[in-house]
Structure 1
Amino acid sequence: MSTPTSRLLQLLSLLQSPRVWPAQALAERLAITPRTVRRDIDHLRELGYRITAVRGPAGGYRLDAGSQLPPMLFDDDQAVALVVALQLATAQGIDDDDAARRALATVRQLLPSRLRHRVDSIEVASLPHRSPAPIAPESLVAVTTSIHRHERLRFTYAGDNDRPARTAEPHHVVMSQGRWYLLAWDLDTDAWRTFRLDRLTPRIPAGPRFTPREVPGGDAAAFVAGLFKGSEGEDRWPCSGSVTLAAPAERVAPFADDGTVADLGDGRCRVTAGSWSWIALATWFGRFDAELSEPAPIALADAFGTLSDRYARTADR
């Protein structure tokens, strides 16, 4: 049976999730009565936590942001996740290493001794896929604020030279392979475009408000992934094919990226993958340094023939 103090901490942990909790749901999670829930809510309010009672069929309790900072509560998993996120902040291209270190030190001071010793043992580093130029925090805030307020974003873009400031309808910020991108409706071309945040400088003031458009497919991350693969609207490669490799599946699988590997036995496997062109896909299959056979579809077989002729001419030279 939990003590009143531990029960209060469990209740507070539940209320910190961004939702409205019905009293009955809290009672079931904590194995207490709804009356005890109401009494515990009153105790938390006395400690300075602003807990609002929402009336109606979908009502319950919600923890609101307050003007004062009561004692903060992190369970073990939350503390670990927060420390890792702060340690990786600068590795993800945000140009404010000092702020991340100060935030980490502040969080550490708020943790109980048991958790403090645990998070002190966490030390992680990240090697980004690329080496992006750092993004100024104020630029990230300006872009995301325009997205939140549905305001057109005016900005200059590296490489535009003497071109005047661009204007676009910003919709989402997406991170891919160590770089941050803005997905926006480009008013100059009347089309969806991505802009790298490290090349973008917001201009003040922002433009007028706009009605957000529906991102094709409804998933911004999948849509951007599809754009990078050359398939607008869905996260797939425009060219997809397969070959049989004279190599064991366990040797091929670690290097197959987003392809799939099927073990055929006898030291052979069937690899299925995609790329933005048939030539690029044929070149990708050649990375495994093994005999290839049974290419499909015919467009992939033709691409191997084109590459064969091209490489033969190069060898003759």
Structure 2
Amino acid sequence: MAFFLETLFGGLMVGMLYSLVALGFVLIFKASGVFNFAQGAMVLFAALAMARFAEWIPMWTGIESRWFANVAAFAVAGLVMFAVAWLIERLVLRHLVNQEGATLLMATLGIAYFLDGAGQTLFGSSIYKIDIGMPKDPIFLLDKVFEGGILINKEDLYAAAIAAALVALLSLFFQKTGTGRALRAVADDHQAAQSIGIPLTRIWVIVWCVAGVVALVAGMIWGSKLGVQFSLTTVALRALPVVILGGLTSVPGAIIGGLIIGVGEKLSEVYLGPYVGGGIEIWFAYVLALVFLLFRPQGLFGEKIIDRV
């Protein structure tokens, strides 16, 4: 039982990180109808900016404090992601409103490749380190309940807590603020929202900026765990099955879907891996997403679209 709970907790913590990345996909799709394949590249670009500014700021200021360097690097990288999001919306997507889905798909793929190349040009192509002070030593929980306790990695616990806090803040933002209500109105009906005076272009810029911040936090966490390298793009795209499972238009679906995928990956690797071979953790989420595409393509919480003829 202790081993099962240990695996379960590990899956929940990884799943929360998947949920964080999936939120970027869902927010942009809800507000603009664009499935942003560049979200993975945004995570990588943000992580590179965070890592490099954390190196450069102490040299520029002469202040050697790691805490100051991380806070300043996060702030500067956040401004960079705001600028990137604004430029993407202003220079690309604003001119593609009401275009075919394939056109928007190719646009976001082009943005992804551009960000990959721009990241290497501006920040370099080596493997960089983000050290935000998260402890990496394990702890034992419930040692009075189970013999030996449950082994939990402190870094995973802190990362899951940061991701959960950001998800909670975003949920409050969408539910309690005027801008959040405007975002939800735009998501429900673009034309109706515009008819009551909600400026679509401003809303789209806000959504892309929020997605940029989400990418920055996700890149900071994954970069701290794995190092900042170009495989982060593929790690971020592991959130695609989460979006399919939870639904393209559902913020709660992104959260629940991420937790289901995270737990499913860990449990399947431990309990099914010995029977079907290693590596099940890599493809489990995509097989589950394929099943949902066949039998419930709108996902668990997505809206079922009915075309009337």
Smaller-chain TM-score range? under 0.3
Task: Report the TM-score, using the length of structure 1 for normalisation.
Answer: 0.18
Of the two, which has the highest radius of gyration?
A: 1
Higher relative contact order, structure no. (Cα contacts within 8 Å, ≥ 6 residues apart): 2
Task: Report the TM-score, using the length of structure 2 for normalisation.
Answer: 0.19
